[in-house]
Amino acid sequence: MKVGDKIRVFAPATVANVACGFDVLGFAIDKPGDELIMEISAQKGVEIIEIEGDDGVLPRDPKKNSATVAIQDYLDFIDADFGCKIWLKKLMPSGSGLGSSAASAVAGVFAINMLCAEKLNKQELMPFLLNAEKAACDAAIADNVAASLFGGFILVRSYEPLDILQIPVPEDLWCAVIHPHVVVLTKDAREILPKEIPLAHSLRQSANVGGIMVGLLRGDYELIGRSLVDYIAEPYRSKLIPGFYEMKNAAMEAGALGASISGSGPSVFALCHGKEIAHKTGEALQAVMQKMNIKSEVYVSKVNAQGPKVLPLID
């Protein structure tokens, strides 16, 4: 690696929680996501040259931006005597519940690690990503960052020590996600949650996490659907999302296996068996928002198995 070396990468958006797995389940989707270009510089530190597509809302201070926080941690860890410049292209909205800060941070550490000949493995990159999430949304939560970094479906079995498990996904599992144009900040969506939950809810929630794991491993789509129930966050956070239950009903009528809030919202996801049902579900979700005069985008994709990837450089 030498000064002037350059790379262009993409990191995918993610659906965290997946109904029953508050803070412990997540999966990556093919789009949206973030693109990042990085160039190695002689000067130490990380410099943000440009952030495109965020309407100026993201911090330009490298100490506050999730991508640069993660990259700086990486550089400190390897005791680098060089730095880098970055160009970040946001291809997704912030405050959407699609892991926007996570995708930026993953793109950043993935890029620097590739330029450093993959000095660290993915597990070793996780602490930098947790710090970045802490900087971005005041909570060091692993679900979005791990799903974006590893790709596929992940379970955070333990936070201390961090233990991320990758769960195989059945071939024909698709996802429709709608992002209504309503801003919900993760910090606010966490503050409205109760600090304690009833024992009965706890046991139903953990039974459903078990159910979804077995469903994924067996390729049992109906079991995956039956397990997409959330007793912890959805009852409270649904109040922040106009038309949430109408969207959920519309998804089920369109044939989805189940639907809930993506991460801390306002995006809503539905898991589906097959591409056709996923597209139909996406249209049904959007029809609800159109009726309410709320703008939205819909993304339909398989669960993204790859995670971040290198893109060709453009002149």
133, 141 contact by CB (below 8 A): yes
What are the φ/ψ torsions at residue 167 (nearest 5 degrees)? -110, 130
Q: Residue 17 or residue 205: which is nearer to ligand HSE going by CB?
A: 17
Given candidates 34, 35, 73, 143, which one binds ligand HSE under the rule CB under 6 A?
A: 143
Query: Smallest gap, in angstroms, from Cβ of residue 141 to ligand HSE?
Result: 4
Active site residue 14: no
Q: Note whether 208 binds ligand HSE by CB under 6 A.
A: no
- Using CB under 6 A as the binding rule, the residues of this chain from 148 to 167 that contact ligand HSE are none
The span from the CA of 208 to the CA of 232, in Å, is 12
Signed CA dihedral, 60, 66, 69, 72: sign only: negative
Given candidates 11, 16, 58, 177, which one binds ligand HSE under the rule CB under 6 A?
A: 16
Q: Note whether 113 binds ligand HSE by CB under 6 A.
A: no
Lookup result for tokens 């993610």: 14
Q: 92: which 2 tokens?
A: 């997704």
Given candidates 9, 13, 15, 17, which one binds ligand HSE under the rule CB under 6 A?
A: 17
Of 5, 10, 14, residue with least CA distance to 264: 14
- Using CB under 6 A as the binding rule, the residues of this chain from 223 to 262 that contact ligand HSE are 233
Q: Note whether 144 binds ligand HSE by CB under 6 A.
A: yes
Given candidates 23, 35, 54, 297, which one binds ligand HSE under the rule CB under 6 A?
A: 23
Please report the DSSP string for 200-249 in residue order: HHHHHHHHHHHHHHHHHHHT-HHHHHHH---SSSHHHHGGGSTTHHHHHH
Q: Note whether 264 binds ligand HSE by CB under 6 A.
A: yes
Strands (E), the chain: 6-16, 25-41, 45-52, 83-90, 153-158, 163-167, 173-180, 258-261, 268-273, 296-302, 309-311
Q: 165: which 2 tokens?
A: 């498990």
Given candidates 9, 70, 136, 141, which one binds ligand HSE under the rule CB under 6 A?
A: 141
Q: Residue 98 or residue 114: which is nearer to ligand HSE going by CB?
A: 98
Query: Smallest gap, in angstroms, from Cβ of residue 233 to ligand HSE?
Result: 6
Task: Considering only the stretches 27-35, 137-145, 224-232, 247-255, report the one whose residues sit in contact with ligand HSE under the rule CB under 6 A.
Answer: 137-145
Catalytic residues: 133, 186
Q: Could you list the residues that contact ligand HSE (CB under 6 A)? A: 16-17, 23, 141, 143-144, 186, 189-190, 233, 263-264
